[in-house]
Amino acid sequence: MKNAKYLQWAIMFILFALPSYALRFKIAGIPITMLEVMILATFATWFLGSYKQVIENIKTRRSSGTGLSRYPFDIEIVLLLIISFVSVGVAGFSNEAFGIWKAYFFEPLLFYVLLFNVFASPSRNLREGWASVFAKIIWPLTVATFLISVFAIYQKITGNLISNPFWAAVETRRVVSVFAYPNALGLYLAPLVLLMTGKLFSMLPRPAGEGRGEGKGLWFKIIFLAITIILSLLSIYFAHSEGAIVGIAAGVIMFGLLAGRRMSVVTLGVLGIVAIIFFANANLHDKIIEKGTLGDFSGEVRKQQWRETWAMLTESPQRFILGAGLANYQGAVKPYHQEGIFFNQDKDPDFYRKLVIFNNEYKEKYWRPVEVYLYPHNIFLNFWSELGLAGALLIVWIIIKFYYLGAKLIKNYELQITNNGIYNKYIVVSLLSAMTAIVIHGAVDVPYFKNDLAVMFWMIIALMGMGQLMINKENKN
């Protein structure tokens, strides 16, 4: 029992320290990050202490039909490991491809296994309750988010510790906090804002204690959560991470529509007010339309990326099926890359005709160079280019299954009138909302292919799987 408690604390520290992937070094000549070391060390500790029990459970299952429970998404996980390893081969078994495979697939899935065996193993049977497990997972993330957001706001006020001079300048300041670039901050914070919102709502209307994994200091925790959410939203705004803002907005709408009747009415009312303002304010209307149709510069860059990616993927049947291979997108898309785009920043209605007939000075005014990015900046194309068509379709299936399980759990908890049913419904809604933020932001960005984001993705999947295990257990009793 003591070892299990230590493993829980180790996992909680890993969640707190997700940004530690920025600390990079080599062990026996192999590049590795601090986050990877922590995951591998914790997994090894659990496995070496539990493998005899695992073998015994397998024998019990074979002889009596009991013992080990199946992991939710187990078939999908095995397929993903196989497909991702094949993609290492597609990339020529390069060191870069192996590095991506271990950091973005192998180790996050080890962490998924850890979560279940430490927090929801058959011997534990989720006896602490799903809400208690959710609390142990969300609190270290909340503390980390608070510190990261405070640092980001410090950068906004002072301009200090922002490595890029352009982002540090007062006129163009974009905060990055502990990350390398502004959008990384938005990608990290967006799903956590929704998870923290679910935790906050599960605490607000209920007395302290039963079913939530909470003890003393309830109001302090509520205030701390609320402050952290506000600071996170400010940090995202100061990072100018528009994809994260839109993703959170979509997640909040889903949260409001699913959390309960009163919340649904409030959400629909707010949406109605927003719609009136949208149509009444011509400037706001035009700006939102421009963003929504990807008519601004960043949107035009995204569309150019997608055209180049499509040209690369359709160059041959092999490339269409297998993609470019892990860590091989830049090299594969380079022959199709356009060095820049002409951007109509002045909204000249005669822009394209003038490009043809006007002099070079006019063309140079509107020419904007565009680099070759690491990924296509679209969640489906990201996976397609890295894992091939099968990998992209598998991720789509995993996300669809995630929403399906969430809908089943919500239906189950709506039939319960107990406090636990209410708490657990908020957990499900927050998980669905967080995934919605990931998917919506992923329409124009890369919400998975980064060490912290891959672990967070599978953490969210694991939490939904734990909910399904708990329902299965209740139905058997």
User: What are the pLDDT digits (tens) for 72-95?
Assistant: 899 999 999 999 999 999 999 999
What's the pLDDT score for residue 415? 61
Pick from 377, 438, 379: nearest CA to 403: 438
Q: Which residue has the tokens 């990201």?
A: 382
Asked if pLDDT for residue 236 goes beyond 70, the answer is yes
Q: Which residues pair with 30 in a beta bridge?
A: 27
What's the pLDDT score for residue 206? 55
Percent of the chain topping pLDDT 90: 59
According to DSSP H, which parts of 216-350 are helical? 218-238, 242-259, 261-280, 282-292, 297-313, 317-322, 329-333
What's the pLDDT score for residue 473? 65
Q: DSSP label at 345?
A: T
Q: Yes or no: say if 343 and 297 are a contact pair by the CB < 8 Å rule.
A: yes
According to DSSP H, which parts of 17-106 are helical? 34-64, 74-90, 95-101
At 414, list the tokens: 């709506």
Asked if pLDDT for residue 167 goes beyond 70, the answer is yes
Of 178 and 477, more confident = 178
End-to-end CA distance of the chain: 25
Task: For residues 437 and 464, give the distance between their C-alpha atoms in angstroms, rounded to a whole number.
Answer: 16
User: What are the pLDDT digits (tens) for 329-353?
Assistant: 999 999 999 888 888 777 777 777 7
Tell me, rounded to whole angstroms, the distance of Cα 212 from its chain centroid. 24
Q: Yes or no: say if 461 and 402 are a contact pair by the CB < 8 Å rule.
A: yes
User: What are the pLDDT digits (tens) for 94-152?
Assistant: 999 999 999 999 999 999 999 988 887 654 545 457 788 899 999 999 999 999 999 99
Span of 158-172, 207-221, 258-272, 312-326 with lowest mean pLDDT = 207-221
At 270, list the tokens: 């707010």
Q: Yes or no: say if 54 and 43 are a contact pair by the CB < 8 Å rule.
A: no
Asked if pLDDT for residue 360 goes beyond 60, the answer is yes
Q: Yes or no: say if 238 and 152 are a contact pair by the CB < 8 Å rule.
A: yes
Residues 6+ apart with CB under 8 A from 258: 264, 410, 429, 432, 433
Q: Yes or no: say if 180 and 161 are a contact pair by the CB < 8 Å rule.
A: no
Task: For residues 78 and 76, give the distance between their C-alpha atoms in angstroms, rounded to a whole number.
Answer: 6
Span of 116-125, 194-203, 304-313 with lowest mean pLDDT = 116-125
What's the pLDDT score for residue 128? 57
Pick from 175, 139, 148: nearest CA to 231: 148
Task: For residues 119 and 9, give the distance between their C-alpha atoms in angstroms, rounded to a whole number.
Answer: 11
At 354, list the tokens: 């003038």
User: What are the pLDDT digits (tens) for 30-87?
Assistant: 889 999 999 999 999 998 887 666 666 555 555 444 455 678 899 999 999 999 999 9
